Structure formats: structure tokens, C-alpha cells
Amino acid sequence: MRRAITIFCGKGGVGKTTLSLAFALRHAERGRKVLVVTSHPIPELAVTISLKGLKDSHSLAAANLFVIHIDPRDVLQRVVRQGIGSATLADAVLSSRIYTSLIEVIPGLKEIAFVSRMRELSIQDGTESADRFDLIVWDAPATGHFLRTLDVARNFDSYLSGPLSLLGKDLAGFLSDPAALVLMPVTILEEMAVKETMELCEKLIADLKIRPTALICNMTSPLLAASQSDWEETRRNFGANVKGSGNLNFIFERLAVERALFGRLRLAGSVPLHVVPRKPASTSDVELLLELAGVLSSVSNGPRL
Amino acid sequence: MKIRIFVGTGGVGKTSVTAASALRTALDGEKCLVMTVDPALRLKTALGMTGAALEQRVPLEPASTKGELWAALLDVPTTMDRLVRAHSGAAKAQTIIDHPVYKLLLTSLAGMNELVAVERINQAIADGFENLFIDTAPSRHTFEFLDRPEFFVQLVSFPLVKLVGRTYAWWKKSPLSGPDSSDLYGRLQQMLGATLVSQVLDFFAIFQPVAEAYALHSRQTLKILRDSRTTSFTIVTTPAAAKHDSDYLFNELTKRNYFVEALIMNRLWPDLRLKATSGASPAVRDLAGWYEGVYTAQLAIHDNVHAAWAGKGRRVIDLAELSMDIDGIAGLARIAEQLKAA
């Protein structure tokens, strides 16, 4: 049996990591065992968001939430150990400086190792009981690297021979199975991000034959979906009743852009849209995540159990 | 020579800030090259570049400006072909360029950008550019373009790797290379598959002088990038990202002995502490309150970061969020003005 992987993908800086964690937290709070695979090395993850304080305030969620970074080096190390058999010889290979430099340098190798570990995690054959999760979330790297990771993994078997190409065949199969992946592109309502997201959705549909489950518009401002007449009325009233004239233009220019981009996404219409409003201020990251988790509850229940 | 490298997490406006800094220096009368290490083609849109040329001169206003602004995209095949042609004879260069493993390296694999970036910087220096402005990939990959070449330099200098490069051609012709051979290469072929190994080794045998040239250039370039008299790093952040990322990037760069000159806090909102009149409707009050809340949170982060960086003895430059689209020279000129004022 295979567990589908929910992927949060999109442009850099749109909030993939935060939303991955919020989504996972929501399910963990309800007692599901959730694994978040992040492309950030763990020290760098804390740069984006911190889970400090979760254990004290939400012990069930904390007990069910697992965040890991797959280090391709560890994966390759296991492959080498299995391939060589003799522990002494394997140690010698792994500790040689030539091996450590080689795996850093070979293009594509790390991406392949990463995807093959993801595939392993998704297989629920009961052998790795400690690693069995009800939900697996992949906080993917920014669009360019995400697409290249998919490309490398899918085309790996076409240019290699020998045992490595068998691994490649498995990966190609894994990534062309629509039941294996749940795609959740994330965007913010800015020209570049929206353009990139629309291209990403088209490419995923064309190449992987997988239609994203939801497109999430993150960090939106108020009045996004207000009707044209409501919007104009608020704008008039706001101008008449609020002081700070120079900066009011800033607000309305931005709101107009967001509304236009949201309208464009709605027109494109191939993927259901979900809106996650910007939170003005939160006292802590955990509080922010819990708030977002509530907002995300309408997005998807995740893959069915 | 001056090299300025801009790093930061995704979506903070690195490309625009890099291009605007180059524009400012060009308008001051210098000859500048702005180039990107990021595979995303943001620089092209930011500068409004048209056409397919990888290196283009960007027209400046007013036309009487003495300075020059050039923009270059990082193109892996072009950069590598130039390296190959410079370090092997014409016939051998063609053999390398036509080799299936070489084509595979250039076109199908992730990670080549990071490896080739330092060579591209080296070529730009060789082309006589005095001012380089470099836009990097988002933070998860920022350090790859500095780290990967270091590993390559190590690899090429190993005696065993040198040996493979020098002996493989000889081994292939020798009687040892039969199907039952029990030597090193034969073993490798059994493990990894014959075609792969022979192609890779065959390629490496002819490619080795080029690899050594690459390693030499990388060593030289990385040395230049570590010299604070020529190279400085600028961290770009936004109020939303600055809470965590600016210290992290500062520490990672400092750990690797690169000099961080300044922090740019981009996309600051104007003062939005708005006053609703007593007659304002609840909807209007809510909206004003929402903007005030976002602005106040930004301001708190801004003040904290300024205090922290003053403690490090580094400058923080504030740049305002522009509500218009910043693509094109006109938008960049507005950022350039802000940079000049700072």
C-alpha cells in the first residue's frame, strides 16, 4: 500500500514552509501521525519558522508531528552500505575524502537520493513500523528546483544502465502515479508569483498528468473577493473618513492589484482557489501556525485514510 | 575591481535590488555587469531584456551617461564550451563537446548552475568588467555556488582521480579490459553497468585537463570572493522575512569567511497609522485597523533588526515597497534613487 504525499510547491517566499507546517499541525492535533519532509536543513528551517512552545501548549499535536530534512548524503550512505556488504570496506569508502567530494559534485545525484527516500517513506508495507505515518507532507523547494528535481528523477533511467537505472525506473513510476501525489501550489497575489504559479500548474498538468487539488492564495489583504460596487463604496468611504492621505493611495493601488490578480486566477479556473488572509501580528510562530491551521481546514482533508 | 553579491531568501526582491544597485553605479559613470546565478530568468524581466543574447548592453537614460550597464544570464553550455575550447586543442574540444556524457552534464542534470557560476564570474573578470553585481538563488541554494566548487577542487586534486584520468585510455586499449577482467575498472563496470562506466571514464580521460583548469579558476575566483577589499556580500530581506533570516545568513557567510557589508531591508510599507474619523463605518474602521496592525508589526521588526545590526557594526539600508510593478528600467531607477539617498 502506498500513502499519497501532499506537496506544497510554488515560488520562493510565498509561504510554503509555513503552510506545510500549519496543514500538518491541523491533522496532528486530531491525532493523526504526520510527517513533514522539508527541503530546508533543520537549522535553516528555524530561520523560517519556529515550533518553540508547541509541546507545552499542544502536547497531542506535538507528539504526532514529525519534521525531518532528508539529507541526501545519508540516503547515499545507505545505498553504499547495502551495495558493498562488508562493513569494513563500506566504512573505508564512506570515510574517504574522494567519496565525500564526489557525492557533492555529481549533478543530479542528491535530487535522486532525495526522491528515492520520499518514495520509501510513502510505501506502507509494515516493515518500518516506527516510520509509519498517516499523512506525509512535502515542503518542496522553490519552483525551479522543484521542477528540476522531478525532471531528474523521472528521466534518470533513460541515460543510465546497471542497478542505478533500476532505481531510476522505480522513481519514474512513482512520479507518474496520480494517486501518489496531492499537489497544493501556493502563491501570493503579486504579478510575478501569479504568473509563475499559473505556468507551474500548466506544467504539472501537462507533464505529470496531475491536476493540483487546490491553489492557495496566501497572505492576502481584505476586500479581495468583495463585489465591484462594495469595493468602490468602501474606497469612497475610506477616503472620506480616514486621515493620512498620502498613504491611502498605497493601500488602494495594492488592493486593486491583488483584486485583479485574484480575478485572473479565478478566470483561469482549472484549479479550486483557497484564500489564506495575511495575519497582521502574532505573538509567536506557533500561534500563527494554529491560526493558519484553522483557515486551512477548508482546503482539504488530505488523502483519505 | 569591485564585486557585490546579493543573497537572501525567496521573494525578497534580490534581483531587483541587484539590478538597481548596478544601475546606480552605471549612472555614476562606471562600467557594470549584472549577472545572475539563479536559473530563474528573473533578471531578464527585471531589466526588460529582449532577444536571446545571453549578454546584453542595457540602454541608459540619459543617453549621454558615461557609464555602461551590461546584463548577463548564467548559461551553462556557453560557459562550459568556452572553458573547454580555452583548455584543449580544437579537435579535442570538439570531441568533448560532442561526447554524450558532456551533453548529459550540461542539459539534463540539476546542480550544474552552482558548479559553473564561479567559472562565469572568472570569465566576466577576464572580459574586463570592473564592477560585478551578482544575483544569487534563494537561500536554500545560496551557498551551493560557493560550496560545490570547493568540493570539486578537492576531488580533482586527489591522486586517484588524477590516475584514472591518465590511465583509463591506456587501460581501454590494453588486453586487461576484457570481459573477465578483475581489475578496478572491471569491478566498477560490474557494479554500475558497463555503458555508464565506460562512458564516464572515457569522458573523464579527455575532460581531465579541462577539469583541472576549472579547479584552478575556482580556487582563484573563490580567493577573490573572500577578499574583502574586492568583494562584499549584501543580505536582502523584508520585514516579513527579517525576523529570522538576516542573522542566519550573516552567520553562514561569516563562517565561510565571506565579508558581509550591509543589510538591505526591502519592501517597507509607508506609515499606515491611520486615523478614522468618528463618523467612519465599522467596515472602514476594520480596514484601517487591519493596515495599522500590519504596519505596526513591520515597524517593530524593523526597529529590532536595526538595533541588532548596529551591534554588529553593519549598515542597514531601508527600501520602500513600491506599489507599482518594478519591472523595467523605470522601476529600477526608482529603487536606484532610494539607494543613492541612503
3-class SS of residue B222: helix
pLDDT band at A126 (very low <50, low <70, confident <90, very high): low
B21-37: average pLDDT: 93
Q: How far apart are CA A4 and CA B25, in angstroms?
A: 51
Contact B270 A247 (CB under 8 A): yes
SS3 content of chain B, % helix, strand, coil (to 5): 60, 15, 25
Asked if residue B339 lies in contact with residue B133, where contact means CB atoms within 8 angstroms, the answer is no
Give the DSSP H/E element, type plus range, for residue A257. helix A245-268
Number of H helices, E strands in chain B: 14, 9
Integer angstrom CA distances of residue A69 from A73, A75, A111, B294: 11, 11, 13, 32
**Contact at 8 Å (CB) between A116 and B116?**
no
CA A244 to chain B, closest CA, distance in angstroms equals 6
The residue type found at A156 is F
The residues in B 212-241 lying below 8 A from A, measured between CB atoms, are 240-241
CA distances from A59 to A18, B62, B87, B105 (A): 20, 64, 62, 48
Q: Which of A134-143, B63-72, B104-113 has the lowest mean pLDDT?
A: B104-113
What is the DSSP code string of A65-104?
A: EEEEE--HHHHHHHHHHHHH--HHHHHHHHHSHHHHHHHH
For residue B327, the chain A residues in CB contact (below 8 A) are 191
Is A127's pLDDT higher than 70? no
Residue B218 corresponds to which cell in the numbers above? 575556482
- Report the percent of chain B where pLDDT is more than 90: 39
CA distances from A64 to A26, A122, A129, A288 (A): 11, 17, 15, 19
pLDDT at A40 over 70: yes
Cell of B192: 554500475
List strands edge to edge, sheet with B131-135.
Answer: B55-58, B68-72, B31-36, B131-135, B2-7, B231-237, B260-268, B315-320
**How buried is B48 (Cβ within 10 angstroms: 0-12 exposed, 13-18 middle, 19+ buried)?**
middle
User: Where is pLDDT greater, at A59 or B232?
Assistant: B232
Model confidence pLDDT, tens digit, residues B228-284: 999 999 999 998 888 778 888 999 999 999 999 999 999 999 998 888 888 888 888
**Of A12, A160, A241, Cβ closest to residue B193:** A160
- Could you tell me the pLDDT band of residue A294, with boundaries at 50, 70 and 90? confident
For domain B2-268+314-341, give its CATH number from 3.40.710.10, 3.40.50.300, 3.40.718.10, 3.30.70.260: 3.40.50.300
Q: For position B181, what pLDDT does the model report?
A: 46
Mean pLDDT of A252-275: 90
Residue B103's contacts (CB-CB under 8 Å, 6 or more residues apart) are none
Please list, in sequence order, all residues whose beta carbon lies within 8 angstroms of the beta carbon of residue A18, skipping any fewer than 6 positions away: A48, A49, A288, A289, A292
- The DSSP bridge pattern shows strands B55-58 and B68-72 to be antiparallel
Most confidently predicted of A75-84, B147-156, B315-324: B315-324
Gap from A304 CA to chain B (nearest CA, Å):
32
Q: Which cell numbers hold the place of A26?
A: 491541523
Q: What is the pTM of this model?
A: 0.83
Could you read off the pLDDT of B190-204 as tens digits, one per residue?
555 555 556 666 777
Q: Which of A99, A238, A287 to mutate to test the interface with B (most CBs of B within 10 A)?
A: A238
Residue B257, amino acid: N
Asked if B288 lies within 8 A of A39 by C-beta distance, the reply is no
Instruction: Please tell me whether residue A243 adopts helix, strand or coil conformation.
Output: strand
CA A276, distance to chain mean position in Å, is 15
Distance CA B23, CA B32 (A): 8
In chain A, what are the domains? Answer: 5-221+271-296 (3.40.50.300)
Residue A161's pLDDT is 52
Residue in this structure with the C-alpha cell 555508464, named with its chain if needed? B196
Q: Do A246 and B286 touch (CB under 8 A)?
A: no
Which are the contacts of A169, defined by CB distance < 8 A and separation ≥ 6?
A: A157
pLDDT at A56 over 90: no
Whether a cis peptide bond, with omega within 30° of 0, leads into A222 is no
Phi, psi dihedral angles at B181 (to 5 degrees): -60, 140
Residue A1: its pLDDT value, please? 66
Q: For the residues A6-26, what does the mean pLDDT come to?
A: 92
Mean pLDDT, chain B, rounded, equals: 83
Helices (H) and strands (E) counted in chain A, each on its own, are 14, 8
Where does chain B show beta strands of DSSP type E?
Answer: 2-7, 31-36, 55-58, 68-72, 131-135, 231-237, 260-268, 275-276, 315-320
CB contact under 8 A, B280 and A234: no
Rounded distance between C-alpha atoms, residue B196 and residue A113, angstroms: 18
- Choose from A8, A45, A52, A241 for mutation: most chain B CBs within 10 A: A241
Which residues on chain A are in Cβ contact (under 8 Å) with B141?
A: 141, 145
User: Which chain B positions have a beta carbon within 8 Å of A144's beta carbon?
Assistant: 38-40
Closest Cβ–Cβ partner in B240, B277, B321 for A241:
B277
Contact B138 A192 (CB under 8 A): no
**pLDDT value of position A304:** 42
- Is B280 part of the contact surface with chain A (CB cutoff 8 Å)? yes
Question: Cβ of B170 under 8 Å from any chain A Cβ?
Answer: no
The span from the CA of A189 to the CA of A15, in Å, is 12
Distance from CA of A277 to the nearest CA of B (A): 11
Q: pLDDT confidence of A225, banded at 50, 70, 90?
A: confident
Query: Hey, which residues 128-157 in chain B have their CB within 8 Å of chain A?
Result: 138-141, 147-148, 151-152, 154-155
By CA distance, what is A143's nearest residue in B?
B40
Is this prediction's ipTM beyond 0.90? no
Look at residue B84 in the predicted model and tell me its pLDDT: 92
Quick one: average pLDDT of A47-67? 84
Compute the distance between CA of residue A252 and CA of residue A149 in angstroms, rounded to an integer.
40
For residue A147, the chain B residue with the least C-alpha distance is: B110
Q: What is the mean pLDDT of residues B321-337?
A: 80
Q: Determine the average pLDDT of the residues in A251-280.
A: 89
The predicted structure's pLDDT at residue B28: 92
Q: For chains A and B, count residue pairs whose Cβ atoms are closer than 8 Å.
A: 183
Name which residue leads in pLDDT, A16 or A246: A16
Q: What is the dihedral of CA B298, B302, B303, B309, to 10 degrees?
A: 160
CB contact at 8 A, B160 and A98:
yes
Which residues from A are below 8 Å from B291, CB to CB?
A: 251
Query: How buried is residue B232: exposed, middle or buried, by Cβ count under 10 Å (0-12/13-18/19+)?
Result: middle
| Residue-level pLDDT at A305 | 37
Predicted confidence band at B182 (pLDDT cuts at 50, 70, 90)? Answer: very low
Of B110, B270, B288, the CB nearest to A108: B110
Q: pLDDT: is B271 or B187 the higher one?
A: B271
Question: In chain A, which residue's Cα lies nearest the Cα of B289?
Answer: A280
Regarding beta strands A181-188 and A5-9, do their DSSP bridges make them parallel or antiparallel, or are they unpaired? parallel
| A199 against A166, higher pLDDT | A199
Q: Which residues share a beta bridge with A69?
A: A38
pLDDT digits (tens, 9 = 90+) for B37-76: 876 667 887 887 777 777 889 988 777 788 999 999 888 8
Cα separations (Å) of A281 from A212, A222, A223, B243, B290?
A: 30, 15, 19, 13, 10
pLDDT at residue B30 in the model: 93
User: Would the CB atoms of B11 and A165 count as touching at under 8 Å?
Assistant: no
